[in-house]
Structure 1
Amino acid sequence: MEYRGMKKWRPFATMPEQYIGLKEIINKQAEVPQPLLTEEQMEQVNFTLIEALHTNKQVYLTYFKNGRHITATGFIQFVDSLGNLFVFIDEVFELKNKMRLSELINVHFV
């Protein structure tokens, strides 16, 4: 007879599909709807973006992506109001991110 040692009992680990399904359900419950900005808030965001572009100041962005509010710090490189997009360089990874202006929730200087 051979001693097998202590084994952990994992009763629900036999169905990995269950974990995938539960993770999807939890992520769906954590989603929030995209907030609608008023005309005044949109003007303030545009003004701050343009000022940050010309003065090359660091900004703190809050934007909406995949049902979540995401915050980042970095620099604005390009703003196209007619094309509804802007280019943002992330401070941490120094990556260029193209985003829509409609996804933007809040912008302010650091």
Structure 2
Amino acid sequence: MNRDRGMKKWRAFASIPEQYIGLQEVMNKQLEVPKPLLTEEQMEQMNFTLIEALHTNKQVYLTYYKQGRCMTETGFIQFVDYLGDLFIFIDEVFELKNKMRLSELIDVRFV
């Protein structure tokens, strides 16, 4: 007699939980990108955009580098500290304050 397995899903290469975790780490490592290097002109343009967004309370797209990935968020700049290398922005979705280093910033553009 043949027995049908039914609708059970089978993952051939992830049958052991430890193996699945290891495979997930390998796939995440492959998605990582090196941090882009910015020119002096790009950094100067970002500074002008940050200052203008802070004073006019305009919404901006922030692209930053975090844990091997380039991420983009939309929000409002609330505070910039050039000496302390940090800024605070309020994201559009959850309206939470986020503190971030200026050195992690890749690009700032107006919406």
TM-score (norm 1): 0.90
Between Structure 1 and Structure 2, how many residues are aligned?
Answer: 108
| Residue segments in structure 1 that go unaligned for 5+ positions in a row | none
Matched, 1:94 2:109: no
1:37-90 Cα deviation digits (max 9, x unpaired): 111110100110011000000001111000001000010000001111000100
Farther off after superposition, 40-49 or 11-20:
11-20
1:20-51 Cα deviation digits (max 9, x unpaired): 00000000010000011111110100110011
- 1:97-108 to structure 2, matched below 5 A, reads 97-108=98-109
Q: Percent identity among equivalent residues?
A: 76
Instruction: Give the AA of the match of 1:6.
Output: G
CA RMSD in angstroms comes to: 1.7
The residue that corresponds to 1:33 in the other structure is: 34
4+ residue runs over 6 A deviation:
none
TM-score (norm 2): 0.90
Instruction: Give the AA of the match of 2:32.
Output: E
The residue that corresponds to 2:47 in the other structure is: 46
Matched, 1:82 2:83: yes
1:5/1:106 Cα in 2 relative to 1: closer, same or farther (>3 Å)? closer
The residue that corresponds to 1:64 in the other structure is: 65
| Residue segments in structure 2 that go unaligned for 5+ positions in a row | none
Give SS of 2:83's match: coil
Distance in 2 separating the partners of 1:36 and 1:65: 14
